[in-house]
Structure 1
Amino acid sequence: MVAAALLGAERRRPPGGSVTALLDAAAAETVRRRAGARAVVPGQRPEPAPPDDRAPLPTAAEQRLATLLADRALSGPSPAGAAAGRRGSGPDLGELLPQWLAEANAQGYRAPAALLPALLDAARARTDLRAETLAFAGPRALWLARQNADWKFALRDGVRRRLPEERPEEAEQLWQEGLFAERVALLAGLRQRDPEAALALLASTWQTERAEDRLMFLDSLRQGLGPADEPFLERALSDRSRTVRATAAELLAALPGSALGARMAERARGCVSLGHMGRRGRTDRTDRGGSSGEVPPGTAIVVEAPHTCDADMQRDGVIPKPPTGRGERAWWLGQLVEAAPLEVWSEQLGGLAPAQIVTLPVADGWRDDLHAAWCGAAVRQRNATWARALIGEPGEPFAEGPGDPAKLLSVLPEEERGEWAARFVAAHGLSEAFRILGVCGVPWPLPLGRAVVDALEIARDAGSYPWSFSGVMGLAERCLDPADAERLAPLAAVPDEKEGESPGAGAYWAESFQRLVATLRLRSAMLAELREGRQEVVQEESEG
């Protein structure tokens, strides 16, 4: 029967001698198999999804969301800043989803039921969408995730919203019986509401957890880290797992006033001190360098890096083996200085302020190692004063400094970040600006937006091709103030080709600016749809 169906009645004689007989036999066989099948046991019907009482989306905003999701599904996720060839002059709708979701949540809307599957698919593909998507989707996202394993991330990321504060017994049960992802999310959510209760939950099963699980649970303590966590973290310094020990040491180093910080400070003080630079470049140590805050002539920083990494240092998180290409002593020094509280250096170095300390010469070629460690400490301890001193004025390219200015910039207040980035772009253009632009707030403040656009114009007038700046152009589409669209519209015109200019560069630049202006206009429209719709809802509620 199968051979006749596959080869055809012309090549293989079917059972019964005709096609009709073949189909009759197949139908009879199908009925026989179905009749012989055993009935399955019916499963329990799931409870209905919880209600969501938030306001529905306005019609225009719902249609806009459907368009954004459809474009994402067709084009797929595109990494921020990736050059994907010529995109044409149309906006990249998928990249506008994060802003749309953030604004929809700010206005308090609920997600349309019909679009929930597409929203969860988008969040599954892009982790940067998950928090806003789950907030927008509400309780129905968790309900759907229990029916579809593809959306299990929602159970992990959404469980922290699931348990009311007044039901600790449910939290205890989930901690004892839940899936690993649910337990991680529970611990993270509980740390936000009650850090000490979360710590007690973790301590109750710590000894029985697997090493990889202990590491993930320990990382949750970053949220709400406080003095009450110190005894537990001190015990974790003796953990069997090296990565667990290292994470515990990192958390203790970030905890103000911790005993580990004091131990690291004592070790670091023995490595770094003030000295005097002689005429022949010889440097001698001094005890303290005075306490007046003034810098005597010839003052320099003297470094005596550790010669060994003893067992106590290793217990406090110092990794003995350096990475390839790094010397042992420099590696140990960096870890000690990075873990020491930054407040120790003013006292150790003659009462000088951070801005004075970072300008001092460092003897014997230790400057980059020392400054890189201070940069790491400033980022870890979120110390804006030290970050400001280390990042300095935006006068030098990144490659010439020991630290990462983008990380240091992230420690500063948002307004200050924008101002520093604007001065950097004005001084150096866009060739090294992508990293610092990525840590600036959205929308960019007016000075930063103008500096970026001016730098793009300069690059265009110099005859460069726009894809050399595709990363910055992509950021500009998402981060420039939408109100700048009309001001930038003249840049979208195709300029006359100049002598010596790269062939077609002007047309390519015009296309890029057309896309920029179109994206800004689209952002302005979609924000207006959400905000104006909410105003109508508020007005109706007040009239009701």
Structure 2
Amino acid sequence: MNTFLFEWPMLVEAALLGTARRMPDLTPLATELGLSGEGSTPESRLLELAALATNYRWAGDEPARLPLPPLPVCLPETQAYMPDAALRILDQLLADKEPNRRLVGQWTRKCRERGWILPPDRLTTLLSRRKQGEFEVDPVEVKAIMGNRGVWLGQFNPDWAFEPDLTPEEEWHEGRRTVRDLALYAIRKTDPARALALLAQTWPTESLKERKSLLNTMLPGLSEADIPFLEGVRAELVSVKKPKPLQTEMLMHVTELLLAIPESALVAEVVGQLRAYFKTPTGLLNKLMQKIDKRLELPTRFDHFLEPKYIESFGFDALESHTEAERISSWFVSLLMRLHPVVWPLLLDDPQTRPVPFLMRQAIFKDEHEVVLRVLEEIVVNFKRADWVADLLPYKTDVKDWPKLLALLPADEQHALILREFSLTGQLGEHQYLTAEEAAPWSLPFSEAIWTNLGESWMKSPYQPLHGAERQFFRDAVAVVHPQLTPKAEALLLPNIPEAHQHGCREKLINPFLRWLDLREQIENL
């Protein structure tokens, strides 16, 4: 089209200068493009010609194609798809607005154990609802039932993606700081020696903040093998003349770790100092007694044990308390609280003397029983001394303090003590250890007692479902309750519920729980 080639530049020139100043004769071009132009203004004629000419100019051209990366191919599945029975259970679980997390977890574990994976049409539903936080399930177990297609889909939606399969040691070397802490903690629980070697290797290059955080990972498997590393860290911190607050906190934590290792030189030093204050009473009356109990006498201000420099070498603030007596008591009790309980026979010179009753009857603590009880509770919980629990519980009159102590006992002892000592009505939410993932299955009598308490708790607000911690306890209990509770559920609750509230009790308590129990049985039978 020769006319077009020659006259296109004139169109551009007219557009730039304006039709009033430069309007070329475009009749040949208009004729060739089939545009009459009769009655048009010069401006309209120019625009119409330009539009048609542009289309004509590019007609037949193909746009350039952008090179796209090849789409990764999904690997073929090597595992069997789960049967319809498993899918029906999943549908029933997900039919709830808030699926029962314990049952979803049990279903996932069962399918993983069977080697089943989800069929393609169910993948996105489970992935999306999991991401929305409707239930909590171990990502490793969810990934196991996703198959190759589920992992492949993760590249198209970040919400569906799974973390790469890294070992804890790989996460330690490659992960973010928070991930590194968790990775080292995981290694520590299974291989303390390896965790110590990894920590010692990177310790010189870690910042103060990271060092403080990494020290928190050392408690699992703490042993004599950790002493050289901890003593080196402590010596370095003690040598700092003007320590930063973070260094003082680190010093206290390192001291706590060393005091928790019975073989450490620091424990021997502290026990040697403390033994001077565990004194045997003298006098004729005491000599006539067949058994002479020791008595605890606090140190005086003249003791080396109370010098500010000595206290500060442990990471404690020597001037923290307002009075001398408070400072002495605080320092003394702080050490007792951090000492490993295995050294108590060395302090008492008698392995038969029970530390809890001994401390509770000391005259020096007569006005500080609550403080001593808190200290003893920390010792019991931190060092998991289940053998001290029975001695401590009689002094803990507030049952709110019982859960973390009872959690240390074997399940049968927990349950027997709970049934014997007190009612759980209105307090079930504080006893989450009874329904934890690692909790032992309940006996039928214990299940009946808890179920009855749930009904009594619900009756406090019969127009509302259980809420908060008690609601979560109710939902989690389905995983541990005895299966023979099912035929007794109504009979245990309804006789104690006013007739006006029995329908609500069925709707909000009995029916949901029986439905979950039925689903649990179906999962177990897969």
Scaled by the length of structure 2, the TM-score of the pair is: 0.66
Contact 1:421 1:437 in 2 (8 A): no
Report deviation, 1:449. 1.8
Q: CA RMSD in A?
A: 4.9
Unaligned runs of 5+ in 2: 1-42, 238-243
CA distance in 1, matches of 2:267, 2:78: 49
Contact 1:103 1:527 in 2 (8 A): no
Task: Report SS of the residue matched to 2:361.
Answer: coil
CA distance in 1, matches of 2:402, 2:376: 12
Instruction: Please give the per-residue CA displacement for 1:463-500, whole angstroms capped at 9, x wherever unaligned.
Output: 764759644454244322243122113357598858xx
CA distance in 1, matches of 2:128, 2:319: 44
Matched residue, 1:532: 525
Contact 2:411 2:440 in 1 (8 A): no
Contact 1:61 1:526 in 2 (8 A): no
CA distance in 2, matches of 1:111, 1:256: 52
Tell me if 1:65 matches 2:90: yes
Superposition map of 1:99-248 within 5 A? 99-104=106-111, 109-110=116-117, 114-115=122-123, 118-119=126-127, 122=130, 125=133, 129-130=137-138, 133=141, 136-137=144-145, 154-155=163-164, 159-160=166-167, 171=170, 175-180=172-177, 183-237=180-234, 238=236, 241-242=246-247, 243-248=249-254
Report deviation, 1:151. 7.0
Unaligned runs of 5+ in 1: 1-15, 76-91, 164-170, 277-284, 499-503, 534-544
Matched residue, 1:353: 354
Report deviation, 1:200. 1.6
Matched residue, 2:308: 310
CA distance in 2, matches of 1:378, 1:258: 20
2:433 equivalent among 414, 434, 438: 438
Matched residue, 1:251: 257
CA distance in 1, matches of 2:356, 2:445: 26
Contact 1:495 1:507 in 2 (8 A): no
Report deviation, 1:43. 5.3
Supply the AA of the counterpart residue of 2:233.
Answer: A
Instruction: Please give the per-residue CA displacement for 1:307-336, whole angstroms capped at 9, x wherever unaligned.
Output: 957344444344668699xx6555434421
CA distance in 2, matches of 1:55, 1:178: 34
CA distance in 2, matches of 1:371, 1:305: 24
Supply the AA of the counterpart residue of 2:208.
Answer: A
Task: Report SS of the residue matched to 1:204.
Answer: helix
Contact 1:110 1:137 in 2 (8 A): yes
Contact 1:314 1:320 in 2 (8 A): yes
Scaled by the length of structure 1, the TM-score of the pair is: 0.64
1:387 equivalent among 384, 389, 392: 389
Matched residue, 1:541: none
CA distance in 2, matches of 1:415, 1:295: 36
Supply the AA of the counterpart residue of 2:370.
Answer: D
Instruction: Please give the per-residue CA displacement for 1:82-130, whole angstroms capped at 9, x wherever unaligned.
Output: xxxxxxxxxx535633443455456665566643773586378489633
Report deviation, 1:202. 1.9
CA distance in 2, matches of 1:309, 1:142: 62
Matched residue, 2:420: 423
Contact 1:492 1:513 in 2 (8 A): no
Supply the AA of the counterpart residue of 2:416.
Answer: E
Supply the AA of the counterpart residue of 1:445.
Answer: S
Matched residue, 2:337: 338
Alpha-carbon distance change, 207 to 514 in structure 1, aligned in 2, over 3 angstroms: same
Tell me if 1:412 matches 2:387: no
Matched residue, 1:519: 513
Task: Report SS of the residue matched to 1:129.
Answer: coil
Task: Report SS of the residue matched to 1:451.
Answer: helix
Alpha-carbon distance change, 236 to 146 in structure 1, aligned in 2, over 3 angstroms: farther
Supply the AA of the counterpart residue of 1:481.
Answer: H
CA distance in 2, matches of 1:257, 1:127: 45
Report deviation, 1:414. 2.5
Supply the AA of the counterpart residue of 2:257.
Answer: L
Report deviation, 1:370. 2.0
Contact 1:422 1:452 in 2 (8 A): no
CA distance in 2, matches of 1:150, 1:215: 33
Report deviation, 1:406. 1.6
Contact 1:301 1:361 in 2 (8 A): yes
Contact 2:429 2:470 in 1 (8 A): yes
Alpha-carbon distance change, 63 to 132 in structure 1, aligned in 2, over 3 angstroms: farther
Report deviation, 1:339. 0.6
